[in-house]
Amino acid sequence: MKASITAVSRRTAATLLACGLIAGQAWAQDPPRVKFATSAGDIVVEVYPDKAPKTVENFLQYVKDKHYDGTIFHRVIDNFMIQGGGFDAKYVQKPTRPPVAHEGREALAKGGPRNVVGTLAMARTNDPNSASAQFFINVKDNAFLDPTIIPPGDPVPKFEYGGRTYENVPRANLMNSPQLYGYTVFGKVVSGMDVVNKIKAVPTGPGGPFGSDVPKTPIIINSATLLK
């Protein structure tokens, strides 16, 4: 009888352990979420470390460092995107860490999202590897911002871009072409899209060092908080 009870206990323990592992894995795979408490309302985004690990780590570190607290949405273009995370309410640019490596193509190859309505992407200069803290939220489908996946081969037998077809192009030429990098999408809005839509519609004009597209009434990120 003891042997039977022990066997049952072992099976029960194994079952509970397996359930616990499964539950733990499911919990570990839940995307981290960040709440932006803005002067226009709350926006909650989830981010995807399995698609763009360096980008997400960089973003979450800025959240943990309270970098975004007190920054503004300094570039707002209806029917395009809203951009923030770099300047305070006096238009002073906040210091940042070194840029994060561009992960746009890798994220797409892993099934990550494209630049469609509600997605979160890194802002940058013309240098693809210049993204630091600034981000933007797409308010329309912006396919032209998507990274371009380079077909296999070297040279690449056939490549289509911008309505033109290119043949036998050295692979390095395509991989290193700045206009083909696009912008790294690493998350999306899961709550507060109504707030995003409110922000995109605010009156804009010149402000600080910017000649246009600045909300006439500042939209401030009062706090950015990691929810999980």
**Domain range 31-147+182-226, CATH architecture:** Beta Barrel (2.40)
Q: From CA 125, how far away is CA 123, in angstroms rounded? A: 7
Total-model pTM? 0.85
Mean pLDDT of 126-151: 96
Amino acid at 31: P
pLDDT of 173-201, one tens digit each? 999 998 899 999 999 999 999 999 999 99
Decide if 52 contacts 111 (C-beta within 8 A): no
The dihedrals phi and psi of 206, each to the nearest 5 degrees, come to -70, 155
**Which uninterrupted H or E stretch holds 193?**
helix 193-200
Q: What is the pLDDT confidence band of residue 15, given thresholds at 50, 70 and 90?
A: low
Residue-level pLDDT at 58: 98
pLDDT of 86-120, one tens digit each? 999 999 999 999 999 999 999 999 999 999 999 99
Query: What does 7-26 look like in DSSP terms, one character per residue?
Result: HHHHHHHHHHHHHHHHHHHH
Is the pLDDT at 14 greater than 90? The verdict is no
